[in-house]
Structure 1
Amino acid sequence: MNLVERVQSILLKPKATWPVIDAEPADPASLYRNYVMILALIPAVASFIGLSLIGVGAFGISFRVPIISGLAHMVVGYVLSLVMVFVLALIIDAMAPTFEGTRSQIGALKLSAYASTAAFVGGVFSLLPSLSIIGALAALYGIYLLYTGLPVLMRCPPDKAVPYTAVVVVCAIVGGCIIGWVLALLTPSPMRLGAASPAAAVAALQQLVAANA
């Protein structure tokens, strides 16, 4: 599987790509090694560069997260993103019978991993914290990816895809809030005090949505 081609295909033509993904042999190790672990680096590294090297600025005031804190923020955020993909897969799998779908652990993991593509790629906008809102909006496209993938990978009826998607998204938001809270603990107090500024609010939104839409 070519990584770049797969990213392009799942973002640009998801309806045609999901059946291909469904037919591919895969296991958790290969999915993580060849896809999730690579793409999850994008928001983690971009956020580090944006917060610690470029800095957040608003109303004539700028602030950079200290390098050590920025590195800790990057590593913990990266690990939690990987965990979130797996947790969402468990939720997707567990909820399948509720929406007349068929349980499949590997199918659920494929769905969680590939539906996260938009959030991971959109994380590149964290290079400039003031543009993070664009990454957050891009991450919302993951909802559509999830919606189009559920009937294919989890075999749910098309009319059940909307409520199924809604439940998964709510769980993702809760998980994103938890991740955001953990990352906030690693952020120096000047950033927390600046949370009322537009730039800081945008950065928080990006962390929440990128945790998996």
Structure 2
Amino acid sequence: MILNHIWGLYAHPMAEWKTIDEKRESIINSVTHILFVAILPCIAAYYASAHAGWSVGTRESIFLTQSSGLVLGVAMYVGILLGTFALAYLVYWMAKTFGAQPSFTQSLELSAYAATPVIMSGVAAFYPELWFVALVFLAGVAYSVYLLYAGIPVVMHIPEERGFLYASSVVTAGLVLMVILMAATAILWTNGFGPQFMS
């Protein structure tokens, strides 16, 4: 079932990771989960940028044109999907170093469910105050990192000590991925692919 583990990951994460590991769902379930979860923050970002306007301090709200907001929403959706699949590949690629032998499905499951809080934090854009969105995003990142540290030993079937090192490596690689995505965005924006603002 789509989204069947979200509540458990928030309410009782360790028990939910064990359930995820025991059920061993298909790759289609993990892909469907991430396809659905990634839609919500993109809708919120489109609404905030094209209709509500971003508020930065005491200055006047900033609006994008609807077409520009739509393009950015779609780009955000693609970025979330690519980021999740890249993280899954990194989890899979680094596994042998730490004595784990997961399938790519297990790696994608771990990545998709661990990334859910940080992805869902984008829903905060429905209240487009920069400070509020930043705080919710930081909370989402913190909880996603916690889920990753809690989930790796369970899903990868390795001791907690090795799981800690493995998770630390994945978090570092994830931060590098985030920096690459931000740099690519900045390069595209400065080369004519930036958003159009309402005057």
Q: TM-score, normalised by structure 2?
A: 0.86
Unaligned runs of 5+ in 2: none
- The CA deviation at 1:74 is 0.5
Deviations 1:111-152 (A, max 9, x none): 001001111221110122322113212222000100111011
Partner of 1:208: none
Cα pair 2:80 2:119 within 8 Å, conserved: no
Partner of 2:14: 15
Q: Give 2:37's aligned amino acid.
A: L
The 2-side partners of 1:187 and 1:136 are apart by 23
Deviations 1:79-131 (A, max 9, x none): 12111111111110111121222232111111001001111221110122322
Superposition RMSD in Å = 2.0
Partner of 1:46: 44
The 1-side partners of 2:195 and 2:76 are apart by 15
Q: TM-score, normalised by structure 1?
A: 0.81
Alpha carbons of structure 1 residues 46 and 90: separation in structure 2 relative to 1, 3 Å: same
Partner of 1:156: 158
- The CA deviation at 1:183 is 4.2
Q: What is the SS of the residue equivalent to 2:61?
A: strand
14, 23, 35: which one aligns with 1:37:
35
Q: Give 1:39's aligned amino acid.
A: V
Runs of 4+ in 1 over 3 A off after TM superposition: 181-184
Q: Give 2:195's aligned amino acid.
A: P
Partner of 2:91: 92
Q: Give 1:56's aligned amino acid.
A: W
Q: Give 1:134's aligned amino acid.
A: L
- The CA deviation at 1:182 is 4.1
Partner of 1:132: 133
Q: Give 1:17's aligned amino acid.
A: E
Partner of 2:169: 167
**What is the aligned-residue identity percentage?**
30
The 1-side partners of 2:89 and 2:6 are apart by 23
Partner of 1:188: 195
Unaligned runs of 5+ in 1: 192-213
- The CA deviation at 1:156 is 2.2
The 2-side partners of 1:25 and 1:100 are apart by 20
State the aligned residue count. 189
